[in-house]
Structure 1
Amino acid sequence: MVDPGTGDNTPITIDEKANPYRDCIQGLANEPITVVRLLEDARKELHPSSKLADLGGGVTVKEVVHRLVTNRPRVAIIAGSPDHPAHLLDRAHTLMAAAAIWQRGGVPFTFSVPVICDGTAQNNIGQSYSLASRNDTARAVNINFEGHSYHAAYVLAGCDKSPSAILSGLAAAEVARRHRGDQAPVWAVFAPEHVLKGGKIPDGTRKELETIAAKAREHGHRELGEDIEGNLEYILQCSSDEAFAGQLKRAKNLELIDPDTERRILNELAEHTCDSHGGICAFNGTGNSSRTMLAAFGLTPPELELLTGVPADDAVGQGMDCLFGILNKPEYSVCNLVKANFANVVRIHNATGSSSNMLLHLPCIMRHAGFDVTIDDYAEIRDNTPVPEVFAHSLTENRDTFVLAQQFMAGQHRGMESLYRVLSDLKVPMDLDAVTVSGTWRARTENLETPVDPALGDRAVIRTLPVRKMSGVEVLRGSFFDTCVVKVSGMSDDQYAGFDDHIFVVRYYENEHVCNGDFAARDLLNRLRATEGVDDALIRAVVKRNGGGEEPDLENFRGLLEKHLLSFAFIIAGQGPQAYGMPEMFSPSQNLRHHRVLEASSILMTDGRYSGVTKGACIGHTTPEAFEGGGIGYLRNGDILRVKLTDRRIDLLDRAAFLENREVVIDPTQDEGRAELHAERMKRMDHRRLDIAACNLMEHVSDASHGVVPAAVDRRATAAWR
């Protein structure tokens, strides 16, 4: 079986001029033994009843040499590292894929790439390596793919940045091959890793947390009690663990628990978080947003889109049939698929409320593919063809991604095909003629009369009617920056409305750890009240502008925050890609999200980024970054920001004018009085860069609006994607 589309048993050979394995003896001498060993392992380890275990008697070095010389498809199975939970089942899947490639007349190879677990890297120096790992992985995939002259890839796509990295590396290979003109383009299918089943808080631990919450209430700390009780409603994931860590630190600082209790409870939570089979965490973070992206690009065979474990033989076989069915067809190459589906991906991203990190990764992929795409293109598509949110994803109502996968496996929806059909039925202009590895979207959805099983009712994650009109990620502009992003799908309608045309007072931080310290402090409100520049006159003016009347009760500082009349903008700068590797500000965002007083009143803003699971008013990816002279690095305590979300703007206002009831927009970089402040910060940022090994500093990269790609990639991305 070679061509599943025609039934032709003639072995597929790749149509190209160059064949290094024919024209250079060294590769032909070196590589066959790796193929034979891989297939011997498949024969030994696959279950004897598996169709894929039947490799016949022809797995010999002689046969591998013959296939290489005659230019049979050389397919790289790209897996991840077993120190990442998503890749714990890669061994079995890799051997299944290798056998399927051999059975179809191809030559299987395999290599793995390191994959940083963003959860493991959170709130420590690992986050300064996380985004850098994407570019390094793209480079490594490209090096291996080009160095061994593979034709195609079967990718076991994991978490965080690795899917975008692998796709970028493959696309870059195709761009170079097109220039050389003697090799075929690159073809690929992606099999996203299975979904991790969420954990369960042990009964004893739950009771102890409930007791701590009750004790907090008894001692006058109602908001902490409510925060703990709210977090108990979530499935147990590393993200909810992070929130508990912040809450327990607050409880310890308030002397409600001792350090030993804090440590013991955190250990108990950690022990029960991850299912032993691993997988991609069940929240709709960057891992599952990447799953969605790959499927929306048309790169994922439908049988492999939403797995809950090792795929079945038939699913791997059907996925491999998709790959072999597109070989020698340039229109199905990696670069052509991402070009054809880019606008569709933007619409799907918004409709599913996915990670804001994708606004870094989409330009990264497209620029590696040679297309001049920035977040301006994302914003243009979003503005021209707005989409409603149709994803009712929830970590508290049994609608997480594991449940989505269970519904998929039960035939209650068809994943990406259902999403395309739902949006088309809602008159969103999806390009149904765009090609995928399994045919056009029109062909894939025309027989889908019932996109989602009506029997699911409120249990459905994918909805046929909009959850709400507001969706996705918004691109903002302002007087002290060019662009930044906010995940409006992570904000409630009330929160969005409350933060629209609203005034915030700046509290400035040079790193997230100091911010976390404030959020956990027992005297947090006193610290905020003592913020430099926050005097009675400013509070009166801010409260009045935010609708609180002429004479606020200045003695009731907490009340002003709780009533959303006095609001703070917590600015964490010096976190951009060139300054510090663009770490995620996940810990402060979780601490803000699970702090009733702050969540209701305040926003976070950074030139770093946020985790895909972040909710609330978290604004990131600010360009230019502080280290590059961006205005965010010139802000100071007591500054006044005006946020107008419906106008997609954040502006710095002149303080003197504001106190006179006038709103004058200013650029802090033009204020000579701030130059010395910025220069001092630059020295500290430059010194802080020594925390990162020199080989992984992200120097000579584009800014966040261009995807933080290497300068050469950015420079060569000149083709129009339309």
Structure 2
Amino acid sequence: MSEQQPKDAGLRSAEVTEGADRAPHRSLFRAAGLEDDDIHKPLIGVANSWNEIVPGHVHLDELAEYVKEGISEAGGTPLEFNTIAVDDGIAMGHDGMRSSLPSRETIADSVELMTNAHRFDGIVALASCDKIVPGMLMAIARLDIPAIVVTGGHMAAGEFDDEPADLASVFEGVSKYNEGEMTEDELYALECNACPGEGSCAGMFTANTMACVTETLGLSWTGCATVGATDTRKRTIAKQSGQEILRLVEENIRPSDLLTRESFENALMVDLALGGSTNTMLHLPAIAQEAGVDVTLEDFDEVADRTPHLAHMSPSGPWRMEHLRDDGGVPAVLTQLSEQLHLDRPTVDRKTIGDRIDEAEWGGAVVQPRDDPVHEDGGLAVLRGNIAPDGAVVKAAAMDDEMRQFEGHARVFESQEATLEALDGGEIDPGDVIVIRYEGPRGGPGMPEMLEPTSKVSGSPRLSGTVALITDGRFSGATRGAAIGHASPEAAAGGPIALVEDGDTIEIDVDEGRLDLAVSDEELRERADAWTPPTIEATGVLERYAAMATSASTGGILEAPDRTASTEIRFE
């Protein structure tokens, strides 16, 4: 037998490394390259979403080396494994986008399965981009073992015509090209210069919103959210995170110690102050549910009423992530919200939220003062009415002020593809309200993002600021304009959005939180009596997702199985 001292029996990994019965397990660890000393140290899983497809992930293999170096130096054994990552930009505008939101559940499940199977004592998760960070956070909350998240960092802003550019600029450039506002050569130049290298897209889109949320929740290092992908400080954070996970294991500091009601309230405030992506209104409730905390659209509504929008970030404003970093990052936002925050909430780097505020350096260029905000209320808004009685969401920070109260006539489409055809054919006019339905979690299935139709509207001088869009699907974090998503219940589940007809008058009032169809209750009941549920055609993952997905108003999570159902043994 080895002369190595057995590890603390309280560690999970002792279940696969200690005692005579675990000789076969140790034999397999040796076959994977571990030696006696490695086997008897705490085993730390390094969950990595690296691949060669997604710009936000192509560098995570290198970043993982710094994490593993930190783990080894602190006395642990790092064991890296991978999970998937979908690039929403590449998946956008075609059937592949239906795979994006369901991938969140696959990521969470894969991290849970790998960690449970191999009895890791702790996890360092490396992730970037839209569904990957939420999926990792869901797994971390579900597993409730010591964990740290290293978000991969943003790409630098591009440049076009001496102005900053990013992915949203390219999507809107397509609309300008189609309308004769941009030449083919100009569009090509924009394409080549808007996304200059690795990292998540440069604006306050979903990936960077979730990075800021993760830092505020206390699960990533101070400054991690706004340090760029190629910045050497990101490597330092990666190594520090690897070192610190051993302390969390030793002291048994778990996600449940961090992911409390108060920490979620802090995260909501930062999200709203930054004018973050509407996708957080799917992801935060889903993460909270895994942590045993109830976060609802009502919470977003309530917190938005007392949280100002402080940073005019892309896609609606001029600032990108590098500008937010230079202005003090997430800690700078915290300084302006300090009177409302729960300052005693701990974080993974031995600091409280109050400590992070005390050490913050706020420049005042990007993050505006609390008493001089971009908008008095938060950057996201919840709307309700007879189209969406369970709620719909809009990135109010990215709307033109004149669209906050808007009335128009419905142009109804049963799919995103039909909408794009109408937009390309010049069939949408100022004053229209585009309604895209049967694109929710079940009806889509997969609740696809709709950056293409919103970009065609926002990028059109004729339609921008004069056309609204409502859907039971969702939008990219890069979307701007009067784009109202997550209409719940969705059409496929019998939601009232299924009853809208061409020509109906729709009334939008963001300030009052209203979204109404100017049709009598009697007429709606008659339409409901004539409505028949659609046949959802899907196979494989999407078929299972369509059968199990819940409403967007509850985060699009999967329904738990009925554990009370009785089972009878039957004989021939």
TM-based fold match above 0.5: yes
Q: Tell me the number of residue pairs that the alignment of Structure 1 and Structure 2 aligns.
A: 551
Deviation at 1:103, TM superposition (A): 1.4
Q: Which residue number in structure 2 is paired with residue 178 of structure 1? A: none
SS in structure 2 opposite 1:85? coil
Letter in 2 for 1:582: M
Q: Which residue number in structure 2 is paired with residue 666 of structure 1? A: 521
Q: Which residue number in structure 2 is paired with residue 128 of structure 1? A: 98
* Farther off after superposition, 267-276 or 146-155: 267-276
For the structure 1 residues 667 and 170, does the alpha-carbon distance in structure 2 shift closer, same or farther, using more than 3 Å as the test? farther
Q: Which has the larger radius of gyration?
A: 1
**Superposed counterparts of 1:707-722, under 5 Å:** 707-712=555-560
8 Å CA contact 1:132, 1:698 repeated in 2: no
**Superposed counterparts of 1:303-702, under 5 Å:** 304-308=224-228, 309=230, 311-312=232-233, 314-330=236-252, 332-339=253-260, 340-383=262-305, 386-394=306-314, 399-405=319-325, 407=326, 413=328, 415-424=329-338, 427=339, 429-445=340-356, 447-448=358-359, 451-453=361-363, 458=365, 460-461=366-367, 463=369, 465-481=372-388, 482-496=390-404, 499=405, 502-522=406-426, 524=427, 561=430, 567-580=431-444, 581-654=446-519, 665-666=520-521, 669-671=524-526, 673=527, 675-676=529-530, 678-679=531-532, 682-683=533-534, 686=535, 689-690=537-538, 694=542, 697-702=545-550
Of 135, 139, 163, which residue of structure 2 is paired with 1:165? Answer: 135
CA distance in 1, matches of 2:25, 2:6: 22
SS in structure 2 opposite 1:154? strand
Of 103, 106, 115, which residue of structure 1 is paired with 2:76? Answer: 106
CA shift digits 1:85-141 (9 cap, x unpaired): 111212221112112111111110111211111100111111111101111111111
8 Å CA contact 1:250, 1:521 repeated in 2: no
CA distance in 2, matches of 1:323, 1:667: 61
SS in structure 1 opposite 2:242? helix
8 Å CA contact 2:101, 2:131 repeated in 1: yes
For the structure 1 residues 237 and 443, does the alpha-carbon distance in structure 2 shift closer, same or farther, using more than 3 Å as the test? closer
SS in structure 2 opposite 1:508? strand
Deviation at 1:709, TM superposition (A): 1.0
Letter in 1 for 2:35: V
CA shift digits 1:201-252 (9 cap, x unpaired): 4xxxxxxxxxxxxxxxxxxxxxxxxxxxxxx68633222111121222233x
Deviation at 1:666, TM superposition (A): 2.5
For the structure 1 residues 190 and 463, does the alpha-carbon distance in structure 2 shift closer, same or farther, using more than 3 Å as the test? farther
- CA RMSD in angstroms, aligned pairs only: 2.9
For the structure 1 residues 32 and 82, does the alpha-carbon distance in structure 2 shift closer, same or farther, using more than 3 Å as the test? farther
Q: Which residue number in structure 2 is paired with residue 66 of structure 1? A: 40
Letter in 1 for 2:498: G
CA shift digits 1:260-315 (9 cap, x unpaired): x74x6554443333324x10110110010011111110111125333221645643
8 Å CA contact 2:443, 2:492 repeated in 1: yes
CA distance in 2, matches of 1:382, 1:14: 47
Deviation at 1:193, TM superposition (A): 0.9
For the structure 1 residues 381 and 651, does the alpha-carbon distance in structure 2 shift closer, same or farther, using more than 3 Å as the test? same
CA distance in 2, matches of 1:713, 1:370: 17
Q: Which residue number in structure 1 is paired with residue 567 of structure 2? A: none
For the structure 1 residues 667 and 25, does the alpha-carbon distance in structure 2 shift closer, same or farther, using more than 3 Å as the test? farther
Deviation at 1:420, TM superposition (A): 1.4
Of 194, 200, 213, which residue of structure 1 is paired with 2:159? Answer: 200
8 Å CA contact 1:80, 1:158 repeated in 2: no
**Residue segments in structure 2 that go unaligned for 5+ positions in a row:** 565-572
For the structure 1 residues 714 and 634, does the alpha-carbon distance in structure 2 shift closer, same or farther, using more than 3 Å as the test? farther
CA distance in 2, matches of 1:301, 1:402: 17
For the structure 1 residues 283 and 99, does the alpha-carbon distance in structure 2 shift closer, same or farther, using more than 3 Å as the test? same
For the structure 1 residues 14 and 640, does the alpha-carbon distance in structure 2 shift closer, same or farther, using more than 3 Å as the test? farther
8 Å CA contact 2:46, 2:126 repeated in 1: no
SS in structure 2 opposite 1:439? coil
CA distance in 2, matches of 1:65, 1:322: 20
CA shift digits 1:473-511 (9 cap, x unpaired): 111111232211111111233432xx2xx4321110111
Deviation at 1:691, TM superposition (A): 7.8
Post-superposition, which runs of at least 4 consecutive aligned residues in structure 1 deviate over 6 A?
713-716
CA distance in 1, matches of 2:335, 2:9: 35
Letter in 1 for 2:363: D
Q: Which residue number in structure 1 is paired with residue 568 of structure 2? A: none
Letter in 1 for 2:37: E
Deviation at 1:693, TM superposition (A): 6.0
8 Å CA contact 1:92, 1:310 repeated in 2: no
8 Å CA contact 1:604, 1:618 repeated in 2: yes
CA shift digits 1:557-614 (9 cap, x unpaired): xxxx4xxxxx321100010011111001111111111223323322100000001121
Q: Which residue number in structure 2 is paired with residue 221 of structure 1? A: none
**Residue segments in structure 1 that go unaligned for 5+ positions in a row:** 1-9, 37-59, 175-185, 202-231, 529-560, 562-566, 655-664, 717-722
SS in structure 1 opposite 2:344? coil
For the structure 1 residues 697 and 453, does the alpha-carbon distance in structure 2 shift closer, same or farther, using more than 3 Å as the test? closer
8 Å CA contact 1:422, 1:451 repeated in 2: no
SS in structure 2 opposite 1:281? coil
8 Å CA contact 2:57, 2:199 repeated in 1: yes
8 Å CA contact 2:333, 2:367 repeated in 1: no
Deviation at 1:359, TM superposition (A): 0.2
For the structure 1 residues 350 and 637, does the alpha-carbon distance in structure 2 shift closer, same or farther, using more than 3 Å as the test? same
For the structure 1 residues 348 and 99, does the alpha-carbon distance in structure 2 shift closer, same or farther, using more than 3 Å as the test? same
Deviation at 1:629, TM superposition (A): 0.8
CA shift digits 1:509-560 (9 cap, x unpaired): 11122222222334x36xx5xxxxxxxxxxxxxxxxxxxxxxxxxxxxxxxx
CA shift digits 1:610-631 (9 cap, x unpaired): 0112111111101111111111
TM-score (norm 2): 0.88
TM-score (norm 1): 0.71
Deviation at 1:82, TM superposition (A): 2.4
For the structure 1 residues 240 and 353, does the alpha-carbon distance in structure 2 shift closer, same or farther, using more than 3 Å as the test? same
Letter in 2 for 1:642: E
Q: Which residue number in structure 2 is paired with residue 282 of structure 1? A: 202
SS in structure 2 opposite 1:650? strand
For the structure 1 residues 364 and 442, does the alpha-carbon distance in structure 2 shift closer, same or farther, using more than 3 Å as the test? closer
Task: State the identity as a percent.
Answer: 24
CA distance in 2, matches of 1:574, 1:234: 38
CA distance in 2, matches of 1:21, 1:160: 36
Please say if 1:243 is aligned against 2:179.
no
Letter in 2 for 1:575: E
Q: Which residue number in structure 2 is paired with residue 270 of structure 1? A: 191
For the structure 1 residues 395 and 645, does the alpha-carbon distance in structure 2 shift closer, same or farther, using more than 3 Å as the test? closer
8 Å CA contact 1:15, 1:328 repeated in 2: no
Letter in 2 for 1:420: L
Please say if 1:187 is aligned against 2:152.
no
Q: Which residue number in structure 2 is paired with residue 30 of structure 1? A: 28
For the structure 1 residues 397 and 690, does the alpha-carbon distance in structure 2 shift closer, same or farther, using more than 3 Å as the test? closer
